[in-house]
Amino acid sequence: MYPFREGSFAVRNGWYVAAFRNELGRDLLARTVLNQPVVLYRKEDGEAVAVGGRCPHRHFPLGKSCLTGDTIVCGYHGIAFGADGKCVDIPSQDVVPHAYKIPTYPLVEHGLWAWIWMGDADKADVALLPDLEEIGVTATGMTARPFYVQEVQGRYQLLNDNLLDLSHLAFLHASSIGTVENARAPEELVKRPGFLSCRRYIRNAEAPAVMAASGRYAGKIDRVTGMDFYLPGFHAGIGDMAYPQNHPEHAGETIVTSRVYHAVTPATPHSCIYFFAMASEDVEGMDFMFDYLRPVLEEDKFATEEIEKMLAIVGENPDELLIKTDRNAVEGRRMLQAMMDAERSAAAAPA
């Protein structure tokens, strides 16, 4: 499916964010991940678990059922499943056949997030998770905080494309976090297996509107923007602002350092879940940013959903006009396609 080859939906063997850790508790949380219904909850001992969200009896959503102890009791006819997926009770009969069970999925709490592995469980390697120091979550002086969870009615790759091409800041977010330099400044790319990074170094340029709105500084700035894509579904962004080199008193001094985290999790072929979080040295400033950035993220949701609607009209293979700033997004698509192709070849290979 667009923008991938026909028959390619999403990478299966990879960590995706299923929830922020602070969303998980003793209430059942239903999510759809890689076109599978999933239920997340904490056991009585606090351990977070993920199991299949469809009752195998008549397909009632287990996320809309009850949790008793560590057992989900289906809200339709009362069949019960433990956290290990095994059926433990069928109220209408004495015998519980051994084969009755629901799937379970590896779930790891790491940083602000609970990461799920929907592919082959024996390949779920925590070493593949982003390094928390590298992305700034545990860096000295930084405080990280979850911001928003959005269900987006658009395919996940539209959001990945968005995050891999930050020139859109200059237009989609012109009234808040972008200036024309976000499109004009040259982009530097770094690629390694499972990782793609871009940076723009903007010098002595107008500050984006957020700087004046937050009361920080309204003069010209030096700015570093960029995004690190940890495939298949996590982006760690950098937004550093400093006084320009010709500033009479503070030349080169940092004004603000922040990190933003975008997790994009495929839900259905035409929808995804979008998790946004932030880290900053300025804890009080984060309250301002929480309110300020909400409409900015809505703009990305809007663009994604409008493009999804357009694809429903024009079909899955529209001609595309590619331009210079697409280089990073095209590379990201290639890398994801290669991962999907490798999974398909491995599945087709004789055992």
Query: Interface with ligand FES by CB under 6 A: which residues?
Result: 55, 57-58, 60, 74, 76-79
CB-nearer residue toward ligand FES: 52 or 233: 52
By CB under 5 A, which span of 13-21, 112-120, 260-268, 299-307 interacts with Fe ion? 299-307
Query: Which of ligand FES, Fe ion, none does 76 bind, CB closer than 5 to 8 A by kind?
Result: ligand FES
CB-nearer residue toward ligand FES: 65 or 258: 65
Q: Decide: 146 and 275 in contact? Cβ < 8 Å.
A: yes
Query: Which of Fe ion, ligand FES, none does 60 bind, CB closer than 5 to 8 A by kind?
Result: ligand FES
CB-nearer residue toward ligand FES: 96 or 224: 96
Q: Name the minimum Å distance from CB 59 to ligand FES.
A: 6
Q: Is 134 left (phi over 0), alpha (psi -120 to 50) or beta?
A: alpha
Q: Name the minimum Å distance from CB 138 to Fe ion.
A: 25
What is d(CA 275, CA 18) in angstroms, rounded to the nearest whole number?
A: 9
Spell out the SS3 assignment of 179-233.
CCHHHHCCEEEEEECCEEEEEEEEEEECCCHHHHHCCCCCCCEEEEEEEEEECCC
CB-facing half-sphere around the CA of 285: CA atoms within 13 A = 20
Query: Which of ligand FES, Fe ion, none does 300 bind, CB closer than 5 to 8 A by kind?
Result: Fe ion
CB-nearer residue toward Fe ion: 13 or 160: 160
String of contacts with Fe ion for each residue 102-121, x by CB under 5 A: --------------------
Q: What is the DSSP letter of 334?
A: H
187 is an interface residue for Fe ion by CB under 5 A = no
161 is an interface residue for Fe ion by CB under 5 A = no
CB-nearer residue toward Fe ion: 77 or 294: 294
The residues near 82 (Cβ < 8 Å, ≥ 6 apart) are 70, 71, 88
Q: Decide: 275 and 113 in contact? Cβ < 8 Å.
A: yes
CB-nearer residue toward ligand FES: 104 or 150: 104
DSSP-assigned states of every residue in 265-332: EEEETTEEEEEEEEEES-HHHHHHHHHHHHHHHHHHHHHHHHHHHHHHHH-S-------GGGHHHHHH
Q: Decide: 258 and 239 in contact? Cβ < 8 Å.
A: yes
Q: Name the minimum Å distance from CB 57 to ligand FES.
A: 3
What is d(CA 164, CA 324) in angstroms, rounded to the nearest whole number?
A: 13
Query: Which of ligand FES, Fe ion, none does 222 bind, CB closer than 5 to 8 A by kind?
Result: none
By CB under 5 A, which span of 12-20, 226-234, 297-305, 337-345 interacts with Fe ion? 297-305
Q: Decide: 28 and 38 in contact? Cβ < 8 Å.
A: no
Q: Name the minimum Å distance from CB 62 to ligand FES.
A: 8
300 is an interface residue for Fe ion by CB under 5 A = yes
* Interface contacts to Fe ion, rule CB under 5 A: 300
